[in-house]
């Protein structure tokens, strides 16, 4: 039973990893933005699976609702509205050395980060001092809610304000100027 | 507060305020009488105070009015010190002022700013009294500056004349330079004695080290030279003759210019601590007396002659102070006030009669036309020349006697000056009242007319005083001589040993001889001349090129420096440095600008590369 | 201990007035009336506060009306106001200057926004003077920049844009060092005492620090204040800005905002870093003396009346600086008094020059001559203000200048001695320009120059009264400010250098 | 690991039997759903026919009950057309993106109580995830893609417009939907559908529709109708405007899949309404000893069928909204209403007094907002819609300034 | 759940790398935004992983906030893209060099 069990969790990880990486690579390689968006959804699903596998159930749900349900939809909206869904030439790189340098820089950074984590035995902080072991399932939602509405209340309110500001800003940005239609107000 | 002395000070102020509040539409008559009455009442109060002081055993009354500047250890009260010295000063200040006020009511008749003139005059008297009666240096300084600013206003009274405006400014500025000296003296004294009240300063004067005392005395001297027109700050006084003549009489002859001498006399306990300082004072005094006298011999303007004469006479007083003869200095001051006021008023009368002419070359033979002015002028002339028995003889004699005892060289110089004094005064007298008539051109053929009674009455009164003023200080004539009266004030000073009577007589003879030599010389030269290059050397007429020297050494370089500062230093160097920083920043920014290619992805790449450097560093640090 | 509500009202009233003035901008002249009414109320209130102020609140403390509310503990932000002898006069000056500037230099172009800026400026300045918290002071100190920038930039003369920019950049650059210094000091205090982050003046005044740190912090503070004052050689914004600003703006800038610099220097730079004084004092004093002489020198040659007043202010601020850093109690009292007196005198100057400009549309000395003939009252008023500036005893300027010099002389002979020359220099340039403007025959258009109107005379009445009153009877004021200054100087120089 | 807290089935660990039970549950669940979809299509056609006084399908099977099957077979054999302009991959993908969410959503619906099979307690629902109701929200978010990509991938204008409309509408109503669900969660204290249902088991007065006041239910119902793009919110396939909706270019099996998904969604959403507001399987159980477990299922089916019928009824009875009215209703009416109601509910949950206070506040705020909005509309003088047509409409008799200016120049 | 945390961390690092590389090499603003989302997700994944290993809910709370911020960022970012596209008819960031020094 234990074997089955371990195998299951590793299988979950493997499928999540495949989803994530395949999606991510597709995002940066496909030519069509709509395909890229679809690939992005794949990655997001993979991340949601990884969340569930790590007993962050609520976050997984939110990941789907917010990311897949709203953000990527927004991307698709914009793509469709703007009509930028035609295929573009991606092989040409106008900035000299951009790709090579990018590859080198990213590789060094990520390798360095992994090395750092490895040096620190994949732990970067002290275990929780609050004494409440992380719950899963319904308890997870409860715990997260308690944390967000007590410890991080200020941040919560700030992000709420940020959202409102973002919405107002986006409306203002995307609104057509009245002058464009020739009727000054 | 309730003391009568308060009234002395306040009455002129009240007069000035009353005149101000009366407004511009009142008659000249009212204005004149208010102003004159205020000063006359002040004089009356002074007399009363003097009488009361004579019955006071300590001869020293302090009247506390209010606390003016109390800051921590510095306490400056507004308080009056009534002692023999200050009342003596007050007596002649108020007395002569009253006379001059009276005289001015007629002299200034019809002037545009008639009321303003009397406001200034009253304010001046007020300031002078504050100066004299103050019980501390700061309050003295109030009066000191007050008389300065009143003098500024009065000298530039005819402000539409550029010369008058410049003269007023010059007077104020020269005074101001002197004030720096007085301020420094105050600071120095305060920093050592922690007080500025005279009596306390005197008590603690003994603790001053000789160096500090000398520095303080020199600073005081600088202040005195400014106010009293001594070398090196004497040349504002002749220019100040641009003011109305009564002003010259009041301020630039009788009262204000003596303030320096008064200050030195007042600070005699400090002077006592510094023989070097006193020697300097004596030297300055003698030199001024002599230089001014030489210059006076060559002046063509009647008032200029009198102005230099004033400078010279005050030089005597300073000389007296320098040799420690404070009583003699005060005596000369009083006597000088009488006859110099008289001279100026007489000159004013002359000028008045000639419709404003001041050039000696256009006068002559006025004796006939000015029946009252002439005799009074004669008295004054004889008095200043040192002819007995007029006041000048005794006063100057006292000084010379004291100087003789102190320093023979200075004495010789003083006697020489006495000769010159007699000479230039006689010259003035001769050119004005004797000789040929040269004024017809000015008066358009009319005869000059004598002044109205309000102008001549003061002349007569002053003539009497000038004639008999000498008795003030004749020890054998009465018990309460001036020197005796003043003694308590100088009680802190070691008295000078009395000279033998033989020497005294000898010196008197020398004085008389000097006077006679001067008078005779002048008569012989100027009886039938009105101008002479030989006897009026341009060097002397140009005041030893003193003004030119100042202009070349101080005036022009400073002006040039100011211009350079304004045109070059300010915009180019100081502002230029700032602009330079800005410009260099802009240059470097223009260089750096090229790094901003506008390609967002390049910026992102830069970020990533930077991040990788950080990460590499961290990895290297960890292991 | 009086209620701190007074101070809150002092800060808030102009804000309310500004709001009202802005709200009534559509109504012709109404916002001006509101502004003047606000200014009048503010003035009365500030005088009431000044009269109520009690320098002996309890024990050794000399602050009154104090209150402190921590707004944000982690940020160290607090509303902390108090009044003491050092700020007392400046509070009165703030409201008075506003009133006089509004009444005497009415700006009819876009009046509502002008008065709004003026009221805002007053509120910020008031708050700066009342702040007993370094960070709070800094915030308001910076805020004053905004209204003054707009006043200069919108209502100024031909070169207003350049002047405003220069003014802004200068002062802002200066202030940046103040911010750094403030934050460093706050964190240093937190680090040293281990408590919460606070910028309370009373707390920071007792921050233990090394000599070197004190020196650096002093420099950081002093630079900001030196720019604002202005102190030589950081003054070059001031002649341009004063000359280009509208009369009201010049008044606010020179009479008031400059005081923010010297006030800050005394209370914060000197008050917080006594350790640095020994080393910094000769430098600052030398600069002050240079400012006195240099300002006077340039003033002699400048052809523009407003620039002349600017350089005269430079010299006067030199005196103030001298008194502030001298470490002598007498001199410090004199400096505090001179801040007020110079404010009043400068208001008088700028108003009078403004009156002249109203008639002749020029500030150039060369265009003017012989004004005393046609305009005797104006000349008399100018003379009075000028004499006060020269330091004529019996007028207000003397008392303060005298205290500064005599106090400084006791501690630093040579600087005081040289500075005393400035007394003579002031007379030189002022009298010379007076002669050129008012004396002599009135040439050209100057002949029909109109004398001061009744309204203009009334505006100057407070100036004249203050000049004379504080010259003749400064005792009540001195008694109010001396204890605070004494305390400050005792804190700075406990050794008892103050004589 | 606390799988047991989710489902008592896992109490004794995951064994072969358990896995088998789970498998059976899944298969049975989806089979039943598929079957009910065919019934649903038939039911709809039949009900509509009745309301319109027509006869409807009648040939295949009794009452034409097999008509849907026949249609399916027809579609299966039709030619599979892919337009030339279409984006092939996405075009093929889209129908599945529509179908899968519908299927998944149903998995969280509890259709009955708990059964004991072979010693294992078996809940009569396919899955009971701890974040239960969120799964429904997530799936309704995902279902947007099917519509959207289908329209886009067709490479044709009308389907694209239709899909944009549809997705905008779905996203808009998702907000109101989410907020009303929050009221349910508030009163239940759990996200799990199982718990939501059990908390309503104590009688009709504990049903959420009553407990929460009727408003959340009404809002939810309207929002869900819009989510489903069903009449009267079927602007997506407004035949007279947009040909046939986002799936115009689809044919054959792909079309069938869309159809399937649509009806499956209708059933699922009816079931969700029942679960959230009507106690799910709760209902009177007769006092019999055996087959007690059947009664909850019957109750559940009955309630669900009722709501399915309601959807059909709406289609027959209500006129279609205009597009801007749809948006207006969603943003300006339902969202504020549900928000305000949520606050009131939250208040009452703390203390009745708070509830009243909250109600007063909400009332005042809404009045203020409404007034301000009216004023704004009056001042702008423009159309009364947020998504206004571009530009200002000229009033009758008004000459457009811009054009006249140009003439003058 | 005994998949080691290291696996997830490395997975996240790879995801991050892919996102970063895409950000640097793709020119379309839209794709760049997507790459940003990839990077954010990578970070979220590490957060959750650390939250698990350290048994601290703070990590998950952070993820929550990151999501909100990401939503706001995309909203504004896409608004900008739209308004830029209206004027420039392009979403390529290489065409936007107005801020060139």
For the segment C289-324, what is each residue's pLDDT rounded down to a tens digit? 999 988 888 888 888 888 888 888 888 889 999 888
pLDDT at residue number D409: 37
pLDDT at residue number D388: 47
CB atoms E94 and A33 under 8 Å: no
pLDDT at residue number B403: 84
Q: Name the token pair of C170.
A: 């200068």
In order, the DSSP letters of chain E are --S-HHHHHHHHHHHHHHHHHHHHH--BHHHHHHHHHHHHHHHHHHHHHHHHHHT-THHHHHHHHHHHHHHHHHHHHHHHHHHHHHHHS--BGGG--TT--
Which run of H or of E encompasses C466? helix C454-472
Tokens 């004072």, residue located: B281
For the segment C76-125, what is each residue's pLDDT rounded down to a tens digit? 888 888 888 888 888 999 999 888 888 888 888 888 888 888 899 999 99
Q: How many domains does chain E have?
A: 1
pLDDT at residue number E63: 92
- Residues D224 and D220: their CA atoms lie apart, in Å, by 6
Chains E and C touch (3+ CB pairs under 8 A): no
In order, the DSSP letters of D199-223 are HTTT-GGGSHHHHT-HHHHHHHHHH
Task: Please compute the mean of the pLDDT values over residues C377-396 and round it to a whole number.
Answer: 88
- pLDDT interval class at E96 (50, 70, 90): confident
CB atoms B622 and A116 under 8 Å: yes
Residues 42-71 of E with CB under 8 A from A: 44-45, 48-58, 60-61, 63-65, 67-71
Helix residue spans in D318-351 (DSSP H): 323-328, 335-350
Beta strand residue intervals within C399-494, DSSP E: none
pLDDT at residue number B439: 76
pLDDT at residue number D12: 67
pLDDT at residue number B389: 76
pLDDT at residue number C8: 87
The answer to whether residues B61 and B79 touch, using CB atoms and an 8 Å cutoff, is: no
Is residue A181's pLDDT more than 60?
A: no
pLDDT at residue number D5: 57
Residues of chain E contacting residue A26, judged by C-beta atoms under 8 Å apart:
none
CB atoms D138 and A69 under 8 Å: yes
For D277, other C-beta atoms within 10 Å of its C-beta total 26
Is residue A20's pLDDT more than 90?
A: yes
pLDDT at residue number C63: 79
Say which DSSP state A68 is in. Answer: I
b/e string for C299-310 if b means 16 or more Cβ within 10 A? bbbbebbbbbbb
- Residues D41 and D75: their CA atoms lie apart, in Å, by 15
Is C319 an interface residue toward B (CB < 8 Å)?
A: no
In a domain, E15, yes or no: yes
Return mean pLDDT, chain B.
83
SS3 track for D240-303: HHHCCCCCCCCCHHHHHHHHHHHHHHHHHHHHHHHHHHCCCCCCCCCCCCCCCCHHHHHHHHHH
In a domain, E37, yes or no: yes
- Residues D215 and D179: their CA atoms lie apart, in Å, by 12
pLDDT at residue number A161: 92
User: How many CA within 13 A on the CB side of residue B169?
Assistant: 23
Is residue D111's pLDDT more than 90?
A: no
b/e string for B316-352 if b means 16 or more Cβ within 10 A? bbbbbbbbbbbbbbbbbbbbbbbbbbbbbbbbbbbbb
Peptide bond preceding D232 in cis form (omega within 30 of 0): yes
The more confident residue out of D398 and C155 is: C155
The answer to whether residues B339 and B380 touch, using CB atoms and an 8 Å cutoff, is: yes
Q: Name the token pair of B595.
A: 């790094």
Is residue D289's pLDDT more than 60?
A: yes
Instruction: Please tell me which of the candidates E4, E31, E37 has its beta carbon nearest to residue A71.
Output: E37
- pLDDT interval class at D382 (50, 70, 90): low
Task: Please compute the mean of the pLDDT values over residues D108-116 and round it to a whole number.
Answer: 83
Q: Tell me if residue C254 falls in helix, strand or coil.
A: helix
Task: Please compute the mean of the pLDDT values over residues D44-61 and round it to a whole number.
Answer: 87
Give chain B's largest Cα–Cα span.
Answer: 121
For the segment B47-96, what is each residue's pLDDT rounded down to a tens digit? 888 888 877 777 788 888 888 888 878 888 888 888 888 888 888 888 88
Is residue D401's pLDDT more than 50?
A: no
Angle (nearest 5°) at CA D290 between D288 and D296: 80
Q: Tell me if residue E74 falls in helix, strand or coil.
A: helix
Return mean pLDDT, chain C.
86
Q: Name the token pair of B413.
A: 């110089």
ipTM for the predicted complex comes to 0.64
Task: Please compute the mean of the pLDDT values over residues C370-387 and round it to a whole number.
Answer: 87
Is residue B175's pLDDT more than 90?
A: no
pLDDT at residue number B84: 83
Residues of chain B with pLDDT > 70: what percent? 96
Q: Which chains touch C (3 or more CB pairs under 8 A)?
A: B
In a domain, E97, yes or no: no
CB atoms E97 and B599 under 8 Å: yes
How many Cβ pairs closer than 8 A exist between chain B and C?
152
CA B388: distance to chain centroid?
28
Q: Tell me if residue B63 falls in helix, strand or coil.
A: strand
pLDDT at residue number E82: 85
- Residues C489 and C403: their CA atoms lie apart, in Å, by 15
Tokens 């004005």, residue located: B432
Is C183 an interface residue toward B (CB < 8 Å)?
A: no
- Residues B298 and C369: their CA atoms lie apart, in Å, by 35
pLDDT at residue number D321: 86
Q: How far apart are the CA of A142 and the nearest CA of chain B, in angstroms? A: 37
- Residues B283 and B235: their CA atoms lie apart, in Å, by 18
Task: Please compute the mean of the pLDDT values over residues A157-171 and round it to a whole number.
Answer: 90
Is E55 an interface residue toward B (CB < 8 Å)?
A: no
Q: How many domains does chain C have?
A: 1
pLDDT at residue number A131: 56
Is residue D219's pLDDT more than 90?
A: yes
pLDDT at residue number D22: 83
For the segment D157-189, what is each residue's pLDDT rounded down to a tens digit? 888 888 888 888 888 898 899 999 999 999 988
Is residue B493's pLDDT more than 50?
A: no
For the segment A105-138, what is each residue's pLDDT rounded down to a tens digit? 999 999 998 888 888 877 766 676 655 667 666 6
The answer to whether residues A63 and E67 touch, using CB atoms and an 8 Å cutoff, is: yes
pLDDT at residue number B474: 65
Is residue D400's pLDDT more than 50?
A: no
Is residue E11's pLDDT more than 90?
A: yes
Domain that holds residue C134: 3-498
Is residue C259's pLDDT more than 80?
A: yes
Is residue A31's pLDDT more than 80?
A: yes
Query: Is the sign of the CA dihedral B498, B499, B502, B505 positive or negative?
Result: negative
pLDDT at residue number C54: 80
CB atoms A102 and B599 under 8 Å: no
- pLDDT interval class at A91 (50, 70, 90): low
Q: Which chains touch A (3 or more CB pairs under 8 A)?
A: B, D, E
Nearest CA in chain B to C303: B566
In a domain, E64, yes or no: yes
CB atoms D171 and A70 under 8 Å: yes
**Of D228, D223, D220, the residue nearest D172 (C-alpha):** D223
Query: Is the sign of the CA dihedral E10, E13, E19, E23 positive or negative?
Result: negative
Nearest CA in chain D to A85: D152
Residue ranges and CATH numbers for the domains of chain A are: 1-85 (1.20.120.1200)
CATH of the domain at E46: 1.10.287.3510
Task: Please compute the mean of the pLDDT values over residues C9-37 and round it to a whole number.
Answer: 86
- Residues C457 and C476: their CA atoms lie apart, in Å, by 27
Is residue E35's pLDDT more than 90?
A: yes
Residues of chain C with pLDDT > 70: what percent? 97
Is E88 an interface residue toward A (CB < 8 Å)?
A: no
Q: How far apart are the CA of B455 and the nearest CA of chain C, in angstroms? A: 29
- pLDDT interval class at B576 (50, 70, 90): confident
pLDDT at residue number D220: 93
The answer to whether residues B254 and B340 touch, using CB atoms and an 8 Å cutoff, is: yes
Instruction: Please tell me which of the candidates B592, B598, B608 has its beta carbon nearest to residue E100.
Output: B598
Is residue D391's pLDDT more than 60?
A: no
Whether the full predicted model's pTM is greater than 0.90, yes or no, is no
Residues of chain D contacting residue A62, judged by C-beta atoms under 8 Å apart:
134
- Residues B413 and B400: their CA atoms lie apart, in Å, by 10
In a domain, E54, yes or no: yes
Q: Which chains touch E (3 or more CB pairs under 8 A)?
A: A, B
- Residues C104 and C452: their CA atoms lie apart, in Å, by 12
- pLDDT interval class at B250 (50, 70, 90): confident
- Residues B174 and B160: their CA atoms lie apart, in Å, by 22
pLDDT at residue number B623: 66
Is residue A3's pLDDT more than 60?
A: no
pLDDT at residue number D218: 93
Q: How far apart are the CA of A147 and the nearest CA of chain D, in angstroms? A: 17
Tokens 């003014």, residue located: C167
CB atoms B598 and E24 under 8 Å: no
In a domain, E41, yes or no: yes
Q: B197 forms bridges with which residues in the sheet? A: B136
Angle (nearest 5°) at CA B614 between B612 and B615: 65
Task: Please compute the mean of the pLDDT values over residues C340-345 and round it to a whole number.
Answer: 91
For the segment C420-464, what is each residue's pLDDT rounded down to a tens digit? 888 888 888 888 888 888 888 877 777 778 888 888 888 889 899
- pLDDT interval class at D407 (50, 70, 90): very low
Task: Please compute the mean of the pLDDT values over residues C325-336 and round it to a whole number.
Answer: 87
Domain that holds residue E18: 5-90
- pLDDT interval class at B549 (50, 70, 90): confident
In a domain, E99, yes or no: no
Nearest CA in chain D to A39: D90
pLDDT at residue number D344: 92
- Residues A119 and B620: their CA atoms lie apart, in Å, by 11
Q: Tell me if residue C80 falls in helix, strand or coil.
A: strand
In a domain, E86, yes or no: yes
Is B611 an interface residue toward A (CB < 8 Å)?
A: yes
Lowest mean pLDDT among B140-144, B551-555, D267-271: B551-555
Q: How far apart are the CA of B592 and the nearest CA of chain E, in angstroms? A: 8
- pLDDT interval class at A42 (50, 70, 90): very high
Is residue B348's pLDDT more than 80?
A: yes
pLDDT at residue number D217: 93
For the segment B584-616, what is each residue's pLDDT rounded down to a tens digit? 988 998 888 887 777 888 888 889 999 999 999
Instruction: Please tell me which of the candidates E20, E25, E97 has its beta carbon nearest to residue B598.
Output: E97
The answer to whether residues B108 and B246 touch, using CB atoms and an 8 Å cutoff, is: yes
Task: Please compute the mean of the pLDDT values over residues E20-44 and round it to a whole number.
Answer: 90
- Residues B230 and B220: their CA atoms lie apart, in Å, by 12
């Amino acid at each position: 039973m234990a074997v089955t069990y371990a195998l299951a969790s590793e299988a979950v990880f493997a499928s999540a990893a495949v989803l994530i990486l395949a999606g991510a690579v597709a995002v940066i390689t496909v030519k069509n933005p709509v395909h890229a968006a679809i690939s992005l959804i794949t990655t997001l699903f993979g991340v949601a699976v990884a969340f569930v596998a790590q007993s962050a159930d609520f976050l997984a749900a939110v990941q789907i609702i917010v990311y897949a349900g709203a953000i990527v939809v927004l991307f698709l909206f914009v793509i469709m509205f703007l009509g930028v869904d035609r295929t573009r030439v991606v092989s040409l790189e106008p900035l000299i050395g951009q790709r090579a340098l990018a590859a080198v820089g990213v590789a060094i950074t990520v390798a360095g980060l992994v090395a750092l984590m490895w040096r620190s035995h994949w732990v970067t902080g002290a275990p929780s001092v609050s004494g409440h072991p992380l719950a899963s399932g319904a308890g997870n939602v409860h715990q997260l809610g308690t944390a967000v509405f007590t410890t991080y209340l200020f941040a919560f309110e700030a992000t709420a304000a940020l959202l409102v500001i973002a919405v107002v800003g986006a409306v203002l940005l995307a609104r057509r100027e009245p002058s464009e239609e020739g009727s000054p107000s | 507060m309730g003391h009568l002395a308060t009234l002395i000070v306040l009455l002129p102020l009240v007069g000035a305020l009353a005149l101000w509040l009366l407004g511009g539409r009142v008659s000249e008559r009212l204005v004149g009488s208010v102003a004159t009455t205020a000063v006359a009442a002040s004089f009356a109060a002074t007399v009363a105070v003097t009488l009361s002081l004579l019955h006071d055993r300590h001869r020293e009354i302090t009247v506390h009015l209010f606390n003016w500047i109390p800051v921590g250890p510095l306490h400056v009260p507004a308080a009056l010190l009534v002692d023999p010295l200050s009342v003596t000063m007050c007596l002649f200040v108020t007395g002569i002022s009253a006379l001059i006020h009276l005289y001015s009511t007629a002299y200034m008749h019809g002037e545009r700013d008639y009321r303003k003139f009397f406001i200034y005059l009253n304010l001046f008297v007020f300031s002078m009294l504050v100066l004299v009666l103050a019980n501390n240096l700061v309050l003295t300084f109030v009066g000191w500056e007050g008389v300065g600013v009143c003098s500024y206003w009065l000298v530039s009274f005819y402000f539409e004349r550029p010369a008058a405006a410049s003269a007023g400014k010059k007077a104020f500025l020269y005074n101001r330079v002197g004030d720096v000296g007085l301020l420094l003296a105050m600071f120095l004294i305060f920093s050592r004695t922690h007080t500025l009240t005279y009596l306390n300063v005197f008590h603690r004067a003994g603790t001053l080290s000789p160096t500090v005392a000398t520095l303080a005395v020199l600073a005081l001297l600088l202040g005195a030279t400014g106010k009293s027109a001594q070398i090196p700050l004497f040349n504002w006084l002749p220019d100040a003759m641009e003011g109305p003549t009564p002003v010259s009489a009041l301020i630039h002859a009788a009262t204000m210019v003596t303030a320096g001498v008064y200050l030195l006399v007042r600070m005699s306990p400090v002077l006592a601590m510094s023989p070097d300082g006193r020697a300097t004072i004596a030297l300055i005094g003698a030199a001024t007396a002599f230089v001014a006298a030489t210059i006076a011999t060559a002046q063509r303007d009647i008032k200029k002659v009198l102005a230099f004469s004033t400078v010279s006479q005050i030089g005597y007083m300073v000389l007296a102070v320098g040799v420690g003869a404070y009583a003699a200095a005060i005596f000369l001051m009083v006597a000088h006030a009488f006859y110099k006021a008289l001279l100026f008023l007489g000159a004013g009368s002359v000028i008045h009669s000639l419709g404003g002419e001041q050039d000696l070359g256009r006068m002559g033979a006025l004796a006939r036309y000015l029946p009252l002015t002439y005799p009074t002028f004669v008295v004054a002339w004889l008095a200043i020349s040192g002819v007995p028995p007029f006041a000048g003889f005794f006063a100057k004699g006292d000084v010379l006697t004291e100087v003789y005892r102190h320093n023979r060289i200075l004495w010789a110089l003083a006697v020489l000056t006495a000769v010159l004094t007699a000479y230039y005064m006689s010259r003035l007298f001769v050119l004005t009242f004797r000789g040929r008539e040269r004024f017809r051109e000015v008066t358009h053929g009319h005869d000059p007319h004598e002044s109205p009674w309000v102008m001549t009455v003061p002349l007569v009164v002053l003539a009497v005083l000038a004639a008999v003023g000498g008795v003030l200080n004749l020890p054998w004539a009465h018990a309460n001589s001036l020197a005796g009266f003043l003694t308590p004030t100088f009680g802190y000073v070691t008295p000078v040993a009395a000279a033998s009577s033989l020497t005294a007589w000898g010196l008197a003879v020398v004085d008389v001889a000097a006077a006679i030599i001067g008078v005779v010389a002048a008569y012989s030269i100027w009886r039938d001349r009105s101008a002479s290059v030989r006897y009026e050397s341009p060097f002397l007429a140009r005041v030893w090129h003193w003004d030119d020297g100042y202009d070349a050494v101080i005036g022009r370089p400073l002006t040039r420096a100011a211009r350079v500062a304004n045109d070059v230093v300010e915009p180019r160097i100081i502002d230029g440095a700032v602009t330079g920083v800005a410009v260099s920043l802009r240059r470097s920014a223009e260089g750096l600008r090229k790094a901003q290619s506008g390609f967002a992805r390049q910026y992102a790449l830069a970020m990533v590369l930077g991040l990788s450097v950080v990460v590499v560093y961290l990895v290297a640090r960890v292991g | 201990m009086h209620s701190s509500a007074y101070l809150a009202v002092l800060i808030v009233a102009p804000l309310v007035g500004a709001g009202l003035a802005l709200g009534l901008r559509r109504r012709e002249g109404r916002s001006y009336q509101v502004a003047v009414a606000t200014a009048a109320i503010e003035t009365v209130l500030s005088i009431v506060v000044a009269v109520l102020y009690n320098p002996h609140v309890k024990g050794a403390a000399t602050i009154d009306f104090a209150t402190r509310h921590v707004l944000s503990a982690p940020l160290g932000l607090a509303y902390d106001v108090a009044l003491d002898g050092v700020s007392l006069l400046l509070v009165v000056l703030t409201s008075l200057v506003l009133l006089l500037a509004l009444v005497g230099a009415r700006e009819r172009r876009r009046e509502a926004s002008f008065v709004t800026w003026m009221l805002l400026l007053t509120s910020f300045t008031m708050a700066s003077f009342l702040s007993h918290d370094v960070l709070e002071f800094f915030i308001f100190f910076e805020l004053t920049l905004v209204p003054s920038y707009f006043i200069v930039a919108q209502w100024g003369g031909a070169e207003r844009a350049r002047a405003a920019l220069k003014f802004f950049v200068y002062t802002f650059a200066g202030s940046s060092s103040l911010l750094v210094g403030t934050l460093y000091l706050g964190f240093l205090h937190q680090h040293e005492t281990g408590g919460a982050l606070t910028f309370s003046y009373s707390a920071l005044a007792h921050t233990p620090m090394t000599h070197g740190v004190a020196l650096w912090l002093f420099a950081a503070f002093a630079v900001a204040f030196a720019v604002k004052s202005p102190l030589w050689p950081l003054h070059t914004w001031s002649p341009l800005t004063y000359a280009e600003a509208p009369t009201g703006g010049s008044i606010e800038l020179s009479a008031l905002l400059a005081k923010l610099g010297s006030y800050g220097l005394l209370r914060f730079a000197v008050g917080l870093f006594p350790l640095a004084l020994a080393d910094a004092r000769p430098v600052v004093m030398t600069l002050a003396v240079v400012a006195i002489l240099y300002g006077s020198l340039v003033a002699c040659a400048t052809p523009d009346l407003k620039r002349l007043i600017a350089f005269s202010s430079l010299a006067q601020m030199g005196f103030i600086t001298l008194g502030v850093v001298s470490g002598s109690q007498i001199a410090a009292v004199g400096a505090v008094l001179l801040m007020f007196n110079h404010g009043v005198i400068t208001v008088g100057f700028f108003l009078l020059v403004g009156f002249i400009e109203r008639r002749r549309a020029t500030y150039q000395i060369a265009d003017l001559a012989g004004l005393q003939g046609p305009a005797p009252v104006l000349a008399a008023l100018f003379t009075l203000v000028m004499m006060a500036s020269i330091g004529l005893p019996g007028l207000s300027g003397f008392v303060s200048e005298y205290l500064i010099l005599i106090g400084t002389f006791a501690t630093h002979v040579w600087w005081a001695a040289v500075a005393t020359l400035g007394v003579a220099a002031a007379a030189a340039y002022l009298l010379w320009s007076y002669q050129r403007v008012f004396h002599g025959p009135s040439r050209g258009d100057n002949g029909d120059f109109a004398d001061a109107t009744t309204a203009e005379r009334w505006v100057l009445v407070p100036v004249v009264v203050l000049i004379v009153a504080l010259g003749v009877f400064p005792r009540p004021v001195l008694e109010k400010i001396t204890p605070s200054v004494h305390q400050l100087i005792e804190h700075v120089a406990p050794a008892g250098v103050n004589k | 690991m606390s799988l047991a807290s989710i489902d008592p089935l896992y109490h004794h660990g995951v064994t072969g039997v358990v896995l088998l039970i789970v498998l059976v549950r899944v298969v049975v669940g989806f089979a039943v759903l598929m079957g009910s979809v065919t019934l649903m299509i038939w039911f709809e056609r039949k009900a509509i026919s009745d309301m319109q006084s027509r006869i409807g399908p009648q040939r295949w099977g009794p009452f034409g009950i097999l008509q849907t099957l026949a249609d399916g077979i027809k579609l299966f054999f039709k030619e599979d057309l892919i337009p030339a302009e279409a984006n092939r991959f996405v075009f093929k993908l889209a129908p599945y993106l529509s179908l899968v969410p519908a299927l998944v959503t149903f998995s969280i619906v509890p259709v009955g109580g708990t059964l004991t099979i072979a010693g294992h307690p078996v809940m009569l629902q396919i899955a009971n995830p701890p974040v239960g109701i969120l799964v429904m929200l997530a799936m309704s978010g995902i279902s947007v893609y099917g519509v959207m990509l289908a329209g886009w991938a067709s490479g044709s204008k009308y389907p694209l417009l239709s899909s944009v409309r549809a997705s905008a509408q779905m996203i808009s109503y998702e907000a109101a939907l989410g907020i009303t669900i929050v009221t349910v969660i508030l009163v239940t204290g759990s996200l799990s559908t199982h718990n939501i249902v059990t908390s309503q088991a104590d009688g009709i007065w504990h049903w959420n529709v009553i407990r929460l006041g009727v408003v959340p239910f009404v809002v939810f119902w309207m929002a869900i109708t819009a989510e489903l793009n069903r009449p009267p919110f079927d602007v997506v396939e407004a035949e007279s405007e947009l040909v046939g909706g986002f799936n115009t270019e689809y044919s054959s099996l792909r079309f069938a899949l869309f159809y399937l998904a649509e009806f499956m969604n209708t059933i699922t959403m009816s079931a969700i309404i029942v679960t959230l507001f009507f106690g799910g399987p709760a209902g009177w159980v007769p006092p019999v000893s055996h087959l007690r477990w059947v009664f909850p299922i019957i109750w559940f089916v009955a309630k669900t069928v009722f709501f399915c019928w309601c959807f059909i009824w709406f289609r027959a009875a209500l006129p279609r909204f205009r597009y801007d009215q749809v948006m207006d209703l969603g943003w300006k009416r339902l969202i504020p209403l549900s928000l305000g109601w949520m606050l009131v509910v939250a208040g009452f949950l703390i203390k009745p007094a708070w509830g009243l206070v909250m109600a007063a506040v909400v009332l005042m705020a809404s009045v203020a907002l409404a007034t301000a909005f009216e004023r704004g509309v009056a001042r702008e003088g423009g159309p009364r819609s947020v998504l206004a047509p571009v530009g200002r409409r000229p009033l009758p008799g008004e000459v457009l300034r811009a054009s006249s200016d140009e003439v003058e120049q | 759940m005994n998949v080691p945390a290291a696996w997830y961390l490395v997975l996240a690092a790879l995801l991050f790398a892919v996102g970063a590389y895409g950000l640097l090499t793709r020119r379309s603003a839209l794709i760049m935004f997507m790459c940003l989302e990839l990077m954010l997700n990578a970070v979220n994944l590490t957060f959750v992983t650390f939250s698990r290993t350290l048994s601290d809910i703070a990590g998950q709370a952070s993820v929550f906030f990151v999501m909100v911020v990401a939503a706001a960022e995309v909203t504004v970012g896409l608004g900008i893209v739209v308004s830029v596209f209206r004027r420039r008819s392009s979403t390529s960031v290489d065409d936007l060099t107005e801020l060139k020094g």
